[in-house]
Amino acid sequence: MLTKLIKKYGRPKQIITDKLASYKAALRELNLTKRQITRRYANNQVENSHLHFRRREKMMTRFRSIKTLLKFTAIQGAFQNLFNHQRHTEKRANFKDLRQASERHWQTLFAA
């Protein structure tokens, strides 16, 4: 995968990873060891961008069968899309309006 990216976009100036040994071995094969950065907090931005996936993964480990997992994720995904508004990108008044619209929509779906 990394070799394809290097062919398409050229060699990167730096590669930020944690200190996992397999990264070092892979970068040695590509002759990129001098460009690897493993400082203590350098990887935080990458790791924090995956937090919502990690939360879902943790929930999924509790299921015993794939069938119930798929059923749950279908329902949970629809629910999450309805109620998950990006608070940090919206002004408070607009965010509250979006939230109330979501609640009204939810109540109309399940009023019967």
Per-domain residue ranges of the chain: 2-46, 64-109
Going by C-alpha positions, the residue among 25, 37, 32, 42 that lies closest to residue 11 is 32
| pLDDT score, position 71 | 84
CB 4 within 8 A of CB 21: no
| pLDDT score, position 11 | 86
Low-confidence ranges of the chain (pLDDT < 70): 43, 46-47, 50, 112
| pLDDT score, position 13 | 87
| pLDDT score, position 2 | 78
State the Cα–Cα distance between residues 42 and 90, nearest whole angstrom: 28
Q: What is the pTM of this model?
A: 0.39
